[in-house]
Structure 1
Amino acid sequence: MSRTSGTATVVEATFAVLQDAGRPEGASWGIAANGALDQFAYHYGNALVGNPTSLPSLEATMTDLVVRFDEDSVVAVTGARAEVTVGGLSARTHQAVVVPAGWELAVRDIRDGMRSYVSVFGGFHGADAFLGSVSPDRTLGFGLDLVPGTTLSCGDGDRLDLSGRQYAFPECAPPRNPLLAEGELGVLPGESRDLFEDRAGELFEGDYVMTDKTDAVGARLEGRVPRRLDAGEILSRALPIGSIEVSGGKELLVLNRGRGLSAGYPVVGVICTSSMNALSQTRPGGPVRFVPLTIADARRLRVREAEAVQSVRARMTTIIDPLRVATSEERRRRGGNAR
């Protein structure tokens, strides 16, 4: 089937990139996973626009993003709270909206979080991929930073007939976390917990503050640092995303999606996947508190997020699929009957 695509042109951007789920299979090559730092918001946005699988989206960090679409497009904004407008008219986050041809979608005043995601029906395309992913890797110098004038194609093999679509798509606010309060991060025991003995529990005795020394590789948190009792050497090795390293001093280092090998520091705990999404939305100066979590509870949170994404995807697909208009080639393949 031939591809029909519209285009999206970046009108305003400061810290924004083209982002997807990353490259988890790169671990066997020593390549960091990277990908959207808030994986839930990224997948949820794709589900809201009816994409059957998650496709590249735009990720804006703490700064405004304005994009103009040259064809009618179904778009959704997820992640941090923000002021969203379509052609100057107010729109909501976590709700698919139609952006008419020639109109601009603006995401401004990102607040109560760090990152907003813009997803479009059919995804954004036109950037180089590495190991099947367009996600930036700062260590390798790979990735597409969005600047004014950047133009991407968007859409899939079919286009949508949005004529007369005057009413809004359903608002689908994401579910609340059933186990953790706002600012709480679920933590599993780390591989080096025994090196701290009873002092490992100090991790849960007070708040920590996100510093401005944070990026895709790791985040530094100020607060009470458990003191290691065994000073023996630890070899550098691969560690999971969310590992809490005790490097000495007054800070903890949490390894993010762009992490490489450990520098040989002990790992007192590992933040669960769902809580890493929350951490990615914590602004510098924001407080967080570690909460012990069982493996069963961590799985429960992960499954709950996956079910939320799948539920919204199924709901929106039933609404958006009937709006598809097949290409001429697809109509010929079907014997001349368009959907």
Structure 2
Amino acid sequence: MSDKLFQVVKPGLMTTIQDLGRTGYQEYGVVVAGAMDDYALQIANLLVGNSRGEAALEVTMMGPTLKVMKDAVIAITGGNLSPRVNGQPVAMWKSIAVKEGQLIEFGQPLEGIRAYISVAGGFGLPEVMGSKSTYLKAKIGGLNGRALEKEDVLYAGGDTQAVIGRSLHYDEIPKYKKELTVRVILGPHQDAFTEESIQTFLHSAYEITQQSDRMGYRLKGPELTHKTTADIISEAIPLGGIQVPANGQPIILMADRQTTGGYTRIATVISVDLPLLAQAVPGTVIRFEEISMNEAHEINRRKEKLLGILEKII
């Protein structure tokens, strides 16, 4: 068996194992899951010398306390939840060494809601349908299909040539704000809405409510009106799809979304903006900006080019 890496002293609010998700199985009803903030996950892995899609810990709001059982190199990215090692603040978006016996802890959330902890070599966990991601409702992936609990032990995945002190340039570190402009592509069901509702959607502010989680963000704002009904024949749902049920309040579908849905979708959030959305806390104000499919593809190409460059140089 691999070496013991971390022991969970306190599990935090919700700490799970996530990678880039369980793709290719939605037609069989298997949810993708995966990291809510895929940018932070990929950067965390690159900083410690892993492949971009290796599994890491996704920490939500209130972080865990982990006892280090073996010397390791880690990186913490995403939301700033005041990470500390043995009581001392540590840098984020940078690879750092942790020593056997030390404690990795978190304090007050300062910016964002989800942090990611990668470790050089990854975690020694089995893949389920090609992914280590935890999907809580089906109890699959991660550590026994659940969030971390007190006394859990995480094992090292393997060795890698980790470099201590690798960091991301300040300009590439996201800024998590309480007001967001999220770019969307209208459709596929915009014809189901009145023209007035489409303009309302694009020119109004919506607030993320407390009824939001990894499955979806329920929004509160001006009501959107359907021409006839909110219901459609159930069809596949993309990440970032914005459903509008009969009450006229949008729901943005996130990592743990169901595979199909029977409500009209007024728009889809572009993939590059989803990481910022993933870090938004309840009460965050969102405005939507329409862009074209070609613009979305170009923005995504720039993101992939950046990640490709970082893969080679950090």
In the superposition, the TM-score normalised over structure 1's length comes to: 0.83
Equivalence for 2:130: 132
Q: In the TM superposition, what is the alpha-carbon distance from 1:173 to its structure 2 partner?
A: 3.6
Amino acid at match of 2:101: G
Q: In the TM superposition, what is the alpha-carbon distance from 1:152 to its structure 2 partner?
A: 0.9
Whole-angstrom CA distance in 2 between matches of 1:69 and 1:94:
20
The structure-2 alpha-carbon separation of the partners of 1:4 and 1:32, relative to structure 1 and needing over 3 Å to count, comes to: closer
Q: In the TM superposition, what is the alpha-carbon distance from 1:4 to its structure 2 partner?
A: 6.0
Matched position secondary structure for 1:201: helix
Deviations 1:115-168 (CA, angstroms, capped at 9, x unpaired): 000001011223x432122222233232231122111112414576x8xx7xx4
Equivalence for 2:146: 144
Equivalence for 1:38: 37
Equivalence for 1:311: 309
Whole-angstrom CA distance in 1 between matches of 2:308 and 2:173:
16
Whole-angstrom CA distance in 1 between matches of 2:17 and 2:98:
19
Residue pair 2:183, 2:269 contacting (<8 A) in 1 also: yes
- Correspondence 1:188 to 2:190: no
The structure-2 alpha-carbon separation of the partners of 1:159 and 1:117, relative to structure 1 and needing over 3 Å to count, comes to: same
Amino acid at match of 1:188: I
Whole-angstrom CA distance in 2 between matches of 1:174 and 1:151:
36
Q: In the TM superposition, what is the alpha-carbon distance from 1:304 to its structure 2 partner?
A: 2.9
Whole-angstrom CA distance in 2 between matches of 1:247 and 1:77:
37
Equivalence for 1:72: 71
Q: In the TM superposition, what is the alpha-carbon distance from 1:288 to its structure 2 partner?
A: 1.1
The structure-2 alpha-carbon separation of the partners of 1:247 and 1:27, relative to structure 1 and needing over 3 Å to count, comes to: same
Q: In the TM superposition, what is the alpha-carbon distance from 1:83 to its structure 2 partner?
A: 1.3
Q: In the TM superposition, what is the alpha-carbon distance from 1:183 to its structure 2 partner?
A: 0.8
Matched position secondary structure for 2:256: coil
Whole-angstrom CA distance in 2 between matches of 1:310 and 1:97:
22
Residue pair 1:206, 1:289 contacting (<8 A) in 2 also: yes
Residue pair 2:224, 2:249 contacting (<8 A) in 1 also: no
Percent sequence identity over matched residues?
25
In the superposition, the TM-score normalised over structure 2's length comes to: 0.89
The structure-2 alpha-carbon separation of the partners of 1:176 and 1:47, relative to structure 1 and needing over 3 Å to count, comes to: closer
Equivalence for 1:49: 48
Whole-angstrom CA distance in 1 between matches of 2:57 and 2:49:
16
Q: In the TM superposition, what is the alpha-carbon distance from 1:232 to its structure 2 partner?
A: 7.8
Deviations 1:31-79 (CA, angstroms, capped at 9, x unpaired): 1111011111111110111113421101111012222222221100111
In structure 2, the gaps of 5 or more residues are none
The structure-2 alpha-carbon separation of the partners of 1:193 and 1:176, relative to structure 1 and needing over 3 Å to count, comes to: farther
How is 1:156-171 mapped onto 2 (pairs within 5 angstroms)? Answer: 156-157=158-159, 168-171=165-168
Equivalence for 2:114: 115
Matched position secondary structure for 1:93: coil
Matched position secondary structure for 2:133: coil
Amino acid at match of 2:123: F
How is 1:1-339 mapped onto 2 (pairs within 5 angstroms)? Answer: 5-14=3-12, 15-126=14-125, 128-142=126-140, 143-157=145-159, 168-173=165-170, 175=172, 183-199=180-196, 200-231=198-229, 233-249=231-247, 251-316=249-314
The structure with the larger Rg is: 1
Q: In the TM superposition, what is the alpha-carbon distance from 1:248 to its structure 2 partner?
A: 2.2
Deviations 1:99-121 (CA, angstroms, capped at 9, x unpaired): 12221222322232110000010
Matched position secondary structure for 2:49: coil
In structure 1, the gaps of 5 or more residues are 317-339
The structure-2 alpha-carbon separation of the partners of 1:270 and 1:88, relative to structure 1 and needing over 3 Å to count, comes to: same
RMSD (Å) for aligned C-alpha atoms: 2.5
Amino acid at match of 1:281: Q
Whole-angstrom CA distance in 2 between matches of 1:275 and 1:62:
20
Q: In the TM superposition, what is the alpha-carbon distance from 1:250 to its structure 2 partner?
A: 5.0
Whole-angstrom CA distance in 2 between matches of 1:271 and 1:119:
27
